[in-house]
Amino acid sequence: MSESTNAPTSNDSDEPCAIVLAAGKGTRMKSALPKVLCQVVDRAMIHFVLDALEKAGVKRQIIVVGYEADAVKKELSTRGGNIEYALQEEQLGTGHAVQICRSALVNQTGPTIVVAGDSPLIQATSLKKCLDHFRETKPALLLGTLEKDNPEGLGRIVRDASGAFTGIVEHKDASDAELKINEVNMSTYFFNTPDLLDALTKLSNDNAQNEYYLTDTAKLLCQAGRPVEAIPVLQPCESLSINNTDELKQVDETMRSMGYA
């Protein structure tokens, strides 16, 4: 279900748009707030994600809301800009979150970026590098990745002997050789929109969690013979995730040391 405000005109559909995943509760945050409204540097973390997108030139932003949707909308109501909302009534995975945005993407001819709303250290410079590369090579999907000394728990980027992307393997499914890979997926996606819409129709929830995973689009596009690329241009700070209060504190301290405050 999609609820749109400031819907795009035909003139700006060639520009990039972003889908920001912001529906989660964040049960380990020890807060009744939606996860994206937990604060870093005295501000709801989602603002930093939207700021980075704007600085990278991504003006149209579709926010996927779910838990306490009205609270997220109220927090963002002061921003202005071209914000739209899509309501994810059931949280059935990242792929499902993007699936409910399909109607908002029908006229979108420019690239569609998908990022997490709980990644306040996402950098505008990294987004811009990915966008520039996407425009130059025009793949079906470009993954912004990073090389991490300790990739524990993260999906590995698998390449063939020539260095071309062949897939993402989750940590729990990785072989001993794959566990030695330090290039990781950080859920920063740049899609050719028609390819995204096509892949979304083919997603399956045939897995242990019965969820639809956005990472599966990479495999589906590769199987369809569509070009998928990954470039390790994300910065070390972008590897910091927020899944509990300790990590929230670490990100807050890191951001203050970087001059966010």
State the catalytic residues. 28
- Is residue 148 helix, strand or coil? coil
Own/partner pairs, 100-103, CB within 8 angstroms, 24+ separation: 100/1, 100/2, 100/64, 101/2, 101/19, 101/62, 101/64, 102/2, 102/197, 102/200, 103/2
Q: Which residues, other chains included, contact 151 with Cβ-Cβ below 8 Å and sequence gap of 6+? A: 171, 181, 182, 184
- Is residue 168 helix, strand or coil? strand
What is the C-alpha separation between 139 and 161, in angstroms, rounded?
A: 20
Minimal CA–CA distance to 180: which of 159, 166, 206?
Answer: 159
